Chains A and B, each alone.
Chain A
């Protein structure tokens, strides 16, 4: 989606420009941008449909830049948004109009590598893959591996509680972050968790991870590393029907096998990946599964055979086993490039992210097909099938009037399917700005009010990434049940889509 929001103002307000002056004095003029032409780069994140020009961009280079910036924002009562690599797909890093955008990409030092304790401490701008690269010489790795791992940052991963293909076995960011240094929205610095487990007191870190930037800004992160497994085996299996592929996934789980990853792509997603990266997936497949097992060699070998047998029993027509790392990389390339690849077969596309109980996969897929047909749109499906995380890619032509809106409506209808099935409106991309209206479908008003209690403890003035995640936050100190339209200026400042 590329429709641009027309910013209602070109230059920040006098109040924000005054803050920019104070910021220049505090952290250095070169790190503070206010020229509208320079700000344009930062109008959106990976969800390009939402664009808002910030009043000021701060290119933080060290921790103290962040602390000073947040403190000055708090004093001025001006909202701020932290941004990493900007790969988020729910608009979580969309700026607040006339607010401050704190860019953390220059904070990319690895602060400590501790192989004995399997820990690494990094600044928030460090790229996800760089953590595993730095750990590799010690036979260790950082488990969460979102498909954007070559560009996405750890700070963003913490904000979004990012997952990835291998979280089926290894869990999400929250299961691997041990500690964080956080600048609270009032500018105070606190340390949540640490290097050791079980820090006394409330698990504030657990609440912070996945809070989408609404509770503060992280300035360093201590992660737990895993051992690189002794053996890894990957297979690519082609099926003539999606139902058989889904059935195979269920059979694997029922057999008590926990693969490192089970990914599924349907025919349209395969076509797109083929066009983009020539991954040579089985021709004519209605669905493929990429199944990876890792662990001790003996275990992997036996379970791998078992998985192959289960796939055969579900009429798999082609099974390929990666013979080396290169072949494995090729199998994964098709999957990991799937989102971008869809751009090859459609002028525009829109990625959704929903979760269903895995056992309901075949029926929900049929429902998605029916919805797509009714909307006269094509949907390519890419899933983390092992944990029921759907990524429908809705194809449309933005040159056709109304198509963009139809795509959005279809995406939201798919989310309704997820909620009705007892699932979630997001498995890893976050709620952001895009899906906050759906929160009220998944949760009751009381549920959302209770989440706001945490927000009020961390950020009573609502300055940290306001207007995200929650549909109609109530003001801190307000009695439950009394609601307002928002705690801060509406960050969208106008129409969207």
Chain B
């Protein structure tokens, strides 16, 4: 596998935590852990990669306690496979990133999420325990197997979105949710950015409890899907209430095919901003942009033309506490594009964290912002 243009000299496929620990102890070069490789393009390419660890060999669901709504699964377990197993007990891991074949370790490393983050949150809200192997081969755990636990630092938060730069995630423990018995959606045409903003505001301030409010945006207009998942009576009542609230809309049993998919082509950005800035952010996008926004959460994935001035776009959305991170770039841009944008005032601290965990800069070097 090619790692965003960097070819690893060697690839190993460990199948146990001990094997991962041995590899890290017995080698000295740079290293990148990869699951199915669906998000290798997220974050900057590694500065170098002597060794690639394919984590798909760690593919066991270690422990599922349905009564406690908790599951322990190794990093190489595919989310889709886990969901299938959990569904037999009418449960789910309430994460829905669309990348096909994505593994739990990859989802943690990239902090991937989907539309239902509105209701259930993201990795940081659901990951209750994690085991990593550090750069020196030390195996360390934080969190535990109970949802409520404040003993010690919660390192799962640090590893989430770290792209493997602090340690190799080998095992994950998750809080689960019951599978909702019924689902239904309301689909609404959106005429322009201002109307998208009005719909967002109405839904944000109402007492409705959609699990997702997803906007498909074609650059000038779009379509909004308000997803309800609950008992049938509630899905019914809330769908009707949503149509009354928005003054328009049509009920469907399942969301349209675009729902939850990421845009492709050009430069794909993950935008984050305060939720109510949705119309301003849509307006700030250059001509030829399209994508999806998780309204009411302040996150959007958009494809912008390859010649987009990212620095200018970042400046425009900055007043909304906005950020734009590249998750896909054409090959010819990949090495010179600024994937992360300006560093925050806490960057020095981030560097110190990296230095503590990985003083030799072995793990995914250069993937994070500021060359971390």
Contact = CB atoms under 8 A, between A and B. Distances in A.
Contacts, number: 275
Contact of A447 (B140, B148, B372): B140
A450 B155 contact: yes
Q: How large is the interface on A (under 10, 10 to 19, 20 to 34, 35 or more residues)?
A: 35 or more
Interface of A: 114-119, 138-139, 160-161, 163, 167, 171-172, 174-175, 184, 188-192, 194-207, 209-211, 227-230, 250, 253-254, 256-258, 295-299, 302-303, 355-359, 384, 387-389, 422-431, 435, 439, 442-444, 446-451, 453-458, 469-470, 480
Contacts of A426: 149-151
B196 to A, nearest CB: 14
A210 B90 contact: no
Interface stretch (B4-12, B45-53, B174-182): B174-182
B70 to A, nearest CB: 7
B52 to A, nearest CB: 23
A427 B150 CA distance: 5
B354 to A, nearest CB: 8
**Top 10 A-B pairs, shortest CB-CB distance:** A206-B157, A256-B178, A450-B140, A230-B207, A299-B234, A196-B321, A359-B67, A424-B149, A427-B148, A457-B352
12 contacts: A198-B323, A200-B341, A201-B372, A210-B153, A303-B231, A355-B148, A358-B67, A424-B151, A431-B152, A443-B151, A454-B353, A457-B349
A22 B71 CA distance: 54
B340 A201 contact: yes
B154 A207 contact: yes
B336 interface: no
Interface string B202-233: 00111111000000000000000000001101
Nearest to A355: B146
Contact of A167 (B122, B148, B299): B148
Interface in B324-372: 325, 340-341, 343-350, 352-357, 368-370, 372
Given A195-B274, A227-B207, A206 B124 contact: yes
B297 to A, nearest CB: 7
Nearest to A211: B153
A454 B125 contact: no
Given A191-B345, A446-B138, A458-B349, A254 B323 contact: no
Interface in B97-156: 111, 121-122, 124-125, 132, 134, 136, 138-142, 144-156
Interface stretch (B25-33, B158-166, B185-193, B282-290): B158-166
* Most chain A beta carbons < 10 A, residue from B322, B344, B368: B344
Nearest to B123: A203
Given A117-B274, A119-B274, A194-B321, A359 B65 contact: yes
A210 B154 contact: yes
B96 to A, nearest CB: 16
B276 interface: yes
A16 B121 CA distance: 46
A444 B356 contact: no
* Most chain B beta carbons < 10 A, residue from A299, A427, A443, A470: A299
A201 B231 contact: no
A439 B148 contact: no
Given A174-B157, A453-B357, A199 B148 contact: no
A210 to B, nearest CB: 5
Contacts of B297: 197
Given A256-B90, A430-B150, A449-B140, A199 B204 contact: no
B39 interface: no
Given A206-B154, A302-B231, A453-B356, A201 B369 contact: yes
Contacts of A192: 346
* Most chain A beta carbons < 10 A, residue from B66, B90, B142: B142
B171 interface: no
A422 to B, nearest CB: 5
Contacts of B341: 200
B270 interface: yes
Given A296-B238, A450-B138, A423 B201 contact: no
Contacts of A356: 146
Contact of B124 (A203, A358, A470): A203
B68 interface: yes
B149 to A, nearest CB: 4
Nearest to B140: A450
B152 A198 contact: no
A196 B207 CA distance: 22
A204 B111 CA distance: 14
A146 to B, nearest CB: 12
* Most chain A beta carbons < 10 A, residue from B321, B323, B341: B321
A191 B346 contact: yes
A230 B121 CA distance: 21
A195 to B, nearest CB: 5
Contacts of B353: 202, 204, 453-454, 457
Nearest to B347: A201
A175 B125 CA distance: 6
A161 B145 CA distance: 17
B320 A229 contact: no
A228 B207 contact: yes
B138 A480 contact: yes
B227 to A, nearest CB: 14
Given A227-B205, A258-B178, A443 B152 contact: yes
Nearest to A388: B146
Contact of A454 (B136, B158, B205, B231): B158
A253 B175 CA distance: 13
B273 interface: yes
A201 B138 contact: no
B14 interface: no
